[in-house]
Structure formats: C-alpha cells, structure tokens
Amino acid sequence: MTKIGWIVLGIIVLPTLLGILMILVMGGLPTLGIGGDQPQPVIREGEFTYRLVYELDGEWFEYEGVIIASFAGLDYSNAFDLWNRRSWRATAIPDGSEITLIRQQGEPSTLTPNRENIRARVAFLWANSGGWFLGDPAQSHMAPYFLYSELYHTTHNNSPAQRSTSTRLNERQLQEHFGIRIIELYVGEPITNQFE
C-alpha cells in the first residue's frame, strides 16, 4: 500500500471503526451493570409547607405556602455520563420558584463595593431542591437556601461585557450585609424515599 493509501485509511477508516467500537462498548455497559439509567423513585411527588418571616428597614414581610416537588424523569443530556441522572422540579403555591427579599438596580455591589451592578437581588430559592425534598441521596446538599446574585459590567479581551456572580448566604450574612433579620424560617422536612 502506498503512503497516500495509509493516510486515507487513517483518516477515514480508523475513526469510523473507533466510533463503532465506542457505541458497542457504551451500549453494552448497562447490560454489564455499569452505567445506564439510575433507579427511579418510588414516591414521585410530594407537598411541603414553608413559612418565611423577615424584617427589613423596620417592616415585616411574611410568606407561606406549599412547595410541590416532583420527579421530572431521567436527564439524557450528557452523552459522556455513564449514568442518566434523575431530574427534579420544585415550585410553590403561591410564590413560584423563589421569594425575592431585595432587588437593586444601578447600585454598588454589596459584596464588592468598588463595582457597580446593573442589577442585584437577594432571594430564597427552592427551584433546585426537588430531589432534596423527595429523598434523593445524590441531592442531599440541595436544601432551599438564600442567594445573592448580581449582574455587572466588565471588559473581556478589551471589549465591554456583562458578567454575573452569585453566592449563598446564611442568616448572619443576610443581617450583616443587607439588614435582613430572619424572624421565622420553616421548610418541611425531606422524606425518606426508595429507588428501584
């Protein structure tokens, strides 16, 4: 075979064979007990009460309702993941996916004072907590939380750009940086679930 023949073989045939081999191996992994679909929850939906009372600038704010957590199926979006991950939802009646405690526009950053924000907010979030409520051990770190997020102007490669950043907050930080005093915070406890 000539040198050009070997090059053509290497460019066309070899990647094709490697692709076929990869499909066979990845497709065979679930039958070997490696990868595939994660076990699914026995309990797929639940309702959890919540109550948040806080003080800001001498005024009290009160929110309460029911968070509905549900199993949303398996997430097949990552082709390189050996496991198809469980996907969850959590929304609340009447407050949706979060409670916004503070909203700011065009003010200096609270956590980085030398930077002016386009907008910023402090919120109490549970949108990512569906698996936590429904007892998914892989989601044990996703309890509802307070979050400060901001969008600001910056430069990237000498061009104007916008960036965003966020950080979780505890009750001490809420009071120290934002003047928010939590008076009462109750969120229903997660259940113990089985996965089959």
Q: What is the pLDDT of residues 10-66, one digit of tens each?
A: 677 666 766 665 554 454 444 344 456 788 999 999 999 999 999 999 999 999 999
Summarize pLDDT for 80-130 with one digit per residue, the tens.
Answer: 655 568 889 999 888 888 899 999 998 888 878 888 889 999 999 888 899
* Number of Cβ within a 10 Å radius of residue 115: 14
Where in the chain does DSSP place strands (E)? 36-37, 45-56, 59-75, 83-93, 98-105, 117-125, 145-156, 159-169, 180-187
Strand-pairing partners, residue 186, are 51
* pLDDT for the residue numbered 110: 85
Question: How many contiguous H segments (helices) and E segments (strands) does the chain have?
Answer: 4, 9
Q: How far is CA 103 from the centre of its chain?
A: 21
Closest CA to 128 of 85, 76, 175: 85
* pLDDT for the residue numbered 28: 45
* pLDDT for the residue numbered 83: 59
- Residue spans of the domains in the chain: they are 1-34, 36-187
Q: Report the largest interatomic distance among the alpha carbons of the chain, rounded to a whole angstrom.
A: 86
Strand-pairing partners, residue 120, are 104, 150
pTM listed for this prediction:
0.73
Distant-in-sequence contacts of 109-117, Cβ < 8 A, 24+ apart: 109/150, 109/152, 110/148, 110/177, 110/178, 111/148, 111/150, 111/167, 111/177, 115/152, 116/152, 116/153, 117/150, 117/151, 117/152
Closest CA to 69 of 145, 144, 130: 130
Contact indicator for 89, 70 with CB cutoff of 8 Å: yes
Please tell me which residue, 62 or 158, carries the higher pLDDT value. 62
